[in-house]
Amino acid sequence: MDEDGLPLMGSGVDLTKVPAIQQKRTVAFLNQFVVHTVQFLNRFSTVCKEKPSGINHQPHNWPKIISVF
């Protein structure tokens, strides 16, 4: 046990006596992770779509286009 009285993981811990993780809290953390990840990916994909559209698509500009990605 640590100073808070919580069991530490190890060979001497009986996992049948360790309290379960609160399901509501786990779901809330998972939902928050999914929401933040989707928001990031949406912003990232928008930026990736917008950057090439602002560049002239002539062959001499291809290094600029490639450097965006």
Query: Which residues, at least 6 apart from 55, have a Cβ–Cβ distance to it below 8 Å?
Result: 61, 64, 65, 68
d(CA 53, CA 59): 15
Is the pTM for the entire model greater than 0.75?
Answer: no
Closest CA to 69 of 50, 56, 24: 50
Digit-coded pLDDT (tens) for 10-40: 567 777 888 888 999 999 999 999 999 999 9
Q: Is the pLDDT of residue 5 over 60?
A: yes
